[in-house]
Amino acid sequence: MTAATTLEDHSTSCKPQDPMPPNLKTPSMNGDLNNTASMRVVLKPQRHPDFAFRSLAIPASIDHSTLRSRYRPFLLPDKIQCDDWVSRLELATVTEMAYNDFKITGERIKVLILYGSLRQRSYSKLLAFEISRILWRLGCDVRVYDPQGLPVKDDEQHNHPKVQELRELSRWSDGHFWVSPEQHGNLTAVFKNQIDWIPLSTGSVRPTQGRTLGLAMVSGGSQSFNTINSLRILGRWMRMFTIPNQSSVPQAYTLFTDKDAEEGGSRLMAGGNRDRLVDCAEEFVKYTVIMRPHFALLSDRFSERDAFVKN
């Protein structure tokens, strides 16, 4: 037997065998356009029924009255709050996660809410209030900043009370949730002005670095993502961790109830846009619970350590 014959026989006997039975093979591309066959197997988390509709909200009896009146305009009378659409959401997984985090840390997640309009019936404000109610039920310490009276960004008014208030709230927070209207295809000046007043650093303090960020927008026309995309860019420049999900509410003027309607009025109507908003709030809490314990670690940078050593 020649060497050539041996090699030929060897290659023939070592033909690769198909390890996958025909019934488990990946379907053709036309039959699996979303490439679901490549997805990893994920076990669904256990849902504890005791947490399904539980509220972790701060009781009025222990909430600071000044903070409550100044930063929690989204709160409704107990009679409404205990039976509105937010109270009926099944949120077992994230509620248990937030509950266990509070037991371990003894601290609630601190969330700063920013919206981008000064109109009396502002849909970005109404959406911000709905987000706040979901986060509040999940046990977050939620504070909504009112942009009314904030001066236009300049180099002189850093000590203005509204500027100092905004910066202090950002330093206090574990995460932000931003809600802007879309005007002329992008975010509003009212919203951008708030971000411009929050510096990347003040001495050794970075008011936004390492914090989680949730995003939502409203528009008067068809659904758009221009403002959301701009908010993501801002979040990256502010060194924040923006959650993957997002909410864009089109034709917002048609999606909120009248101010005198049920559940306190001016509430977001049921539908896909509301479901997506809940998804975003839920995801925001999950990411913040995971990220918050590692705030210092994630903010540790080689370039800054090197500068510290040299000094």
Q: CA–CA separation, 123 vs 113, rounded Å? A: 14
Asked whether 84 and 148 are in contact (CB, 8 A), the reply is no
Structure confidence at residue 138 as a pLDDT band (50, 70, 90) = very high
β-bridge mates for residue 247, sequence order: 216
Section 284-294 average pLDDT? 97
**DSSP secondary structure string for all residues of 88-137:** T---HHHHHHHHHHHHHHS-PPEEEEEE----TT-HHHHHHHHHHHHHHH
Query: What 3-state DSSP class applies to 87?
Result: coil
Q: What pTM value is reported for the model?
A: 0.86
Count CB-CB contacts under 10 A for residue 143: 17
Section 161-168 average pLDDT? 98
29-33, 121-125, 208-212: range with lowest mean pLDDT: 29-33
N-term to C-term CA, the chain: 76
Number of alpha helices (DSSP H) and beta strands (DSSP E) in the chain? 11, 7
